[in-house]
């Protein structure tokens, strides 16, 4: 499966040693099953991280990763010093598949294709609705990303995806914004693969900056085009690093 990649790309493709996408996805599903089975209501408190880890027979870091995913897609609220609470929305649009195979290029490209269908239009809408406060938040996110271009993968990846989520939220379409929130949270490991295989952090950052510029200028068509070009460029680079183009399903 990995024979078509260069050595550098192959190393970037493989998950880091501490990444357990299949285990954490399985545990995430089990937590959702627990919430449904016990008929928990918004505001109800869940067992502690330690208790959940014992119940599901997993290590603490794996349990925390699963809970972090559920928090990112709006199922739970983790309040430090207080506990874990069920939030208002208990059924996200996208949930992890515990039976999914390991990371594959096909999955990554499918993820980018899904984002290509949604995010350019969200950027278009965001440019027509953006406020000065929202612009400050977007600029702060990209400033933090710029300061971490040479930093750790997960930190930079989280900042980059925060920018995309902020743009989605600015669109005013809560359903489509949640689609992006869910996709980027559930497919967190795939997003890291995208960043590692794309390889050019500076270019990626510059593309984010020009998207922000179009939004700041309230130029809806330009914002849409730049978001499309950005995601299309990422997909093109990833495809070029593989010898065979995946067959569409």
Decide the pairing of beta strands 45-46 and 76-79. Answer: unpaired
Contacts of 176 (CB under 8 A, 6+ apart): 118, 121, 122, 168
State how far the Cα of 146 lies from the Cα of 89, in Å rounded to an integer.
Answer: 33
Q: What angle do CA 133, 215, 194 make, to 5 degrees?
A: 105
Judge residue 59's burial from the number of C-beta atoms within 10 Å of its C-beta, 0-12 exposed, 13-18 middle, 19 or more buried.
Answer: exposed
Domain annotation for the chain: domains and CATH numbers: 13-86 (1.10.10.10), 105-240 (1.20.120.530)
- Give the separation between CA 168 and CA 165, rounded to whole angstroms: 5
Q: Are the CB atoms for 180 and 119 separated by under 8 Å?
A: yes
pLDDT at 24: 74
Q: What strands, in cross-sheet order, belong to the sheet with 45-46?
A: 45-46, 83-86, 76-79
| pLDDT for 19 | 42
User: Could you identify the residue written with the tokens 């990554």?
Assistant: 108
Q: Taking the CA atoms of the chain, what radius of gyration do you get in angstroms? A: 19
Contact 67, 80 (CB under 8 A): no
| Per-residue model confidence (pLDDT) at position 48 | 94
Strands, DSSP E only, in the chain?
A: 45-46, 76-79, 83-86
Q: What is the pLDDT along the chain (249 residues), one digit of tens a residue?
A: 444 444 444 444 334 444 444 577 778 878 888 887 787 888 889 999 999 999 999 999 889 988 887 877 677 889 888 899 988 544 554 544 444 445 567 777 888 899 999 999 999 999 999 999 999 999 999 999 999 888 877 788 888 988 999 999 999 998 898 888 877 776 666 677 777 777 788 999 999 999 999 999 999 999 999 999 999 999 998 888 764 444 444
pLDDT at 12: 40
């Amino acid at each position: 499966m990995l024979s078509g990649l260069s050595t550098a790309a192959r190393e970037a493709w493989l998950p880091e040693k501490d990444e357990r996408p299949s285990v954490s996805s399985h545990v995430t599903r089990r937590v959702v099953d627990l919430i449904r089975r016990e008929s928990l209501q918004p505001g109800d408190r869940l067992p502690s991280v330690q208790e959940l880890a014992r119940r599901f027979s997993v290590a603490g870091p794996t349990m925390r990763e699963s809970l972090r995913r559920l928090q990112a897609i709006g199922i739970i609220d983790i309040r430090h010093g207080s506990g874990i609470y069920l939030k208002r929305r208990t059924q996200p649009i996208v949930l992890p598949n515990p039976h999914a195979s390991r990371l594959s290029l096909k999955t990554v490209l499918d993820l980018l294709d899904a984002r290509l269908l949604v995010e350019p239009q969200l950027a278009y809408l965001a440019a027509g609705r953006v406020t000065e406060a929202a612009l400050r938040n977007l600029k702060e996110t990209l400033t933090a990303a710029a300061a971490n271009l040479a930093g750790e993968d997960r930190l930079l990846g989280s900042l980059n995806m925060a920018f995309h989520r902020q743009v989605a939220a600015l669109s005013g379409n809560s359903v489509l914004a949640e689609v992006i929130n869910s996709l980027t949270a559930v497919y967190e490991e795939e997003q890291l693969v995208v960043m590692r295989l794309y390889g050019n952090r500076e270019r990626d950052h510059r593309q984010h900056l020009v998207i922000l510029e179009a939004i700041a200028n309230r130029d809806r068509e330009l914002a849409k085009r730049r978001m499309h070009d950005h995601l299309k460029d990422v997909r093109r680079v990833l495809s070029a690093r593989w010898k065979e183009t995946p067959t569409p399903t």
